[in-house]
């Protein structure tokens, strides 16, 4: 399992090396991300996950704990007071929600649940470091649409309905679809957003929740 955590500038990745072990790789961390990993280092040492003289603020470090457990802990520290949903994406593009005890082959992530509301999107320039993470969860067709148009279609896991997910930076597309999430089958925009993260990470959270049974209705308000 590869576990990818979207971040503003840095790169935080976990590679499972077994059911109860993983390797953490980091690159170009922000001061906040470093602080989070230093805080988690204390718990890791106390729990025996790493050696007493080791630190998680390193280019690469081996951890004697499940990737899901460590990755979810990092996600919760990076986004305190936010509801976090973790998902794994398989080769066929199917997703499922992850519990701390699960171990599967695939790519996984943890995203904050977007805020329900109806403000018009802004076009402030945001960091797009999360684009690479988003693309790991897209099919070839979705990836091509995202690269060409900064949007892609996601199909709801519960209803099978098609939704257009559009970057808040895509001015032309938003002129057509009005919001970052648009119901293509019924022809109306859906008011849900997360401006506290880069645009690509907002798109990832919308896509992940649409793909997980039980979360599509949270975003759309439909049953």
My answer on whether 37 and 79 are in the same domain is yes
Q: Domain check: are 84 and 153 in the same one?
A: no
Structure tokens at 100: 């701390």
The answer on 122 and 105 residing in a single domain is no
Whether 7 and 54 share a structural domain = yes
How much is the pLDDT for 163? Answer: 95
pTM of the model: 0.67
- Give residue 108's pLDDT: 64
Question: Is 24 found in the same domain as 54?
Answer: yes
pLDDT digits (tens, 9 = 90+) for 113-158: 776 666 554 434 335 567 888 888 999 999 999 999 999 999 998 8
Give dist(CA 199, CA 64) in Å, integer: 34
Q: Given 112, 144, 179, which residue is the final one in a domain?
A: 112
Total structural domains in the chain? 2
Q: Of 66, 97, 112, which residue sits at a domain end?
A: 112
Q: Assess whether 28 and 52 both reside in one domain.
A: yes
Is there a single domain that holds both residue 6 and residue 108?
yes
pLDDT the model gives residue 140:
92
Task: Mention every residue, 6+ apart, whose C-beta is less than 8 A from residue 19.
Answer: 66, 103
Cα separation, 21 vs 72, whole angstroms: 14
Task: Answer yes or no: do 99 and 175 share one domain.
Answer: no
> Each residue of 71-104: pLDDT tens digit?
888 888 888 878 888 788 776 677 887 755 544 5
Q: Is the same domain home to 88 and 165? A: no
Which of residues 75, 90, 112 is at a domain's end?
112
Shared-domain flag, residues 10 and 28: yes
Range of the domain at 69: 2-112
pLDDT value at residue 107: 66
pLDDT for 111 equals 64
- Report residue 139 CA to chain centroid gap: 16
If pLDDT is split at 50, 70 and 90, which confidence band does 161 have? very high
Crossing angle, helix 67-78 and helix 31-46, to 10 degrees? 140
Tell me the longest C-alpha to C-alpha distance in the chain: 58
Contact 86, 108 (CB under 8 A): yes
pLDDT confidence of residue 220: 82
DSSP state of 29: -
Q: Which residue matches tokens 């470090």?
A: 61
Lowest mean pLDDT among 58-62, 165-169, 192-196: 192-196
Which pLDDT value is given to residue 126? 37
């Amino acid at each position: 399992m590869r576990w990818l955590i979207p971040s503003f500038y840095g790169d935080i990745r976990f590679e499972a090396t077994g059911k109860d072990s993983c390797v953490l790789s980091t690159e170009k961390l922000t001061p906040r991300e470093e602080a989070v990993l230093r805080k988690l280092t204390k718990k890791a040492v106390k729990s025996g996950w790493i050696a007493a003289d080791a630190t998680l603020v390193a280019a690469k470090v081996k951890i004697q704990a499940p990737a899901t457990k460590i990755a979810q802990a990092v996600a919760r520290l990076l986004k305190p007071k936010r509801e976090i949903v973790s998902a794994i994406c398989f080769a066929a593009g199917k997703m499922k929600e992850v519990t701390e005890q699960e171990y599967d082959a695939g790519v996984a992530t943890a995203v904050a649940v977007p805020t329900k509301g109806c403000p018009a999107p802004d076009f402030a320039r945001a960091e797009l470091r999360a684009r690479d993470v988003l693309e790991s969860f897209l099919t070839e067709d979705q990836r091509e649409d995202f690269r060409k148009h900064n949007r892609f279609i996601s199909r709801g896991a519960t209803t099978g309905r098609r939704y257009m997910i559009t970057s808040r930076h895509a001015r032309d597309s938003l002129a057509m679809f009005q919001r970052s999430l648009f119901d293509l089958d019924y022809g109306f925009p859906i008011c849900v957003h997360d401006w506290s993260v880069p645009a690509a990470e907002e798109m990832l959270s919308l896509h992940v929740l649409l793909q997980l049974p039980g979360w599509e209705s949270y975003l759309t308000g439909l049953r």
